[in-house]
A = this chain, B = another copy of it.
Amino acid sequence: MFIGAQVSLYPMTSDFEQVILSGLKALDPYRDRLRIETDDMSTLFVGASAPLFDALRDLFARAAQQPPHVTMHVTLSRGCPGEPDDPSCRCETLSQAQDQTLAERQTLATEAVQAAPVLGVEIDVQFSLYVLGRDRHMDEIYGCIDFLKASGTFLRSKNFCTRLRGDAGAVFEAVRQAFLRFGPAEGHVTIDLTASANSPTLR
């Protein structure tokens, strides 16, 4: 299994480099458990889902605590057939999901969101979950959307994606559960995610 993300932070301010550098400090607690490599367009995270999603959450929450409008784009992937197996990405949730029904996975996902920490940072997210290389992929997508609607973070459906809104703790936990518990445990699953905070449109 190979799990990772390409991550980009976009502060809408002329001082954007300062906001990015400040946000990157939030990654320090995770650097020993994630491979992190930056180029001019995005930063690669590779590792297990626990530090991976916690790092995404803390990076964005840190940036959102500053006044400027800020967004983050994340391309998440697990099980891509073109990537090598990486022992650091091993995931108990995925191993267990193989023997669980859709209803069981929906219940476990909802419980995980209810247990998420409260960060005190309100954010918006929209994302698409893609289940690749499998017939009837929409069954898992619709099952995931049903979970999201009951998660307490659901805002509304849009063309091609789902909008979430809430505390950064619950919202990123909802996305982690969508990523891990829907689609085949050993299959190729990806997410296209955008987070937003401090939008002037919402003020």
**Chain A interface residues toward B at CB < 8 A:** 4-6, 8, 10-17, 39-42, 44, 46, 68-69, 71, 73, 75, 77, 80-83, 124, 126, 128, 130-138, 141, 158-161, 163, 188, 190, 192, 194, 196, 199-202
Contacts and interface: CB of A to CB of B under 8 A. Distances in A.
A13 B161 CA distance: 27
A163 B41 CA distance: 9
A134 B132 CA distance: 7
A158 B200 CA distance: 34
Q: Which 8 A-B pairs have the closest CB atoms?
A: A40-B201, A192-B192, A10-B10, A12-B16, A133-B137, A77-B160, A14-B14, A130-B130
Nearest to A195: B41
A12 B12 CA distance: 5
Which of A8, A81, A130 gathers the greatest number of chain B CB atoms within 10 Å? A130
Contacts of A199: 40-41
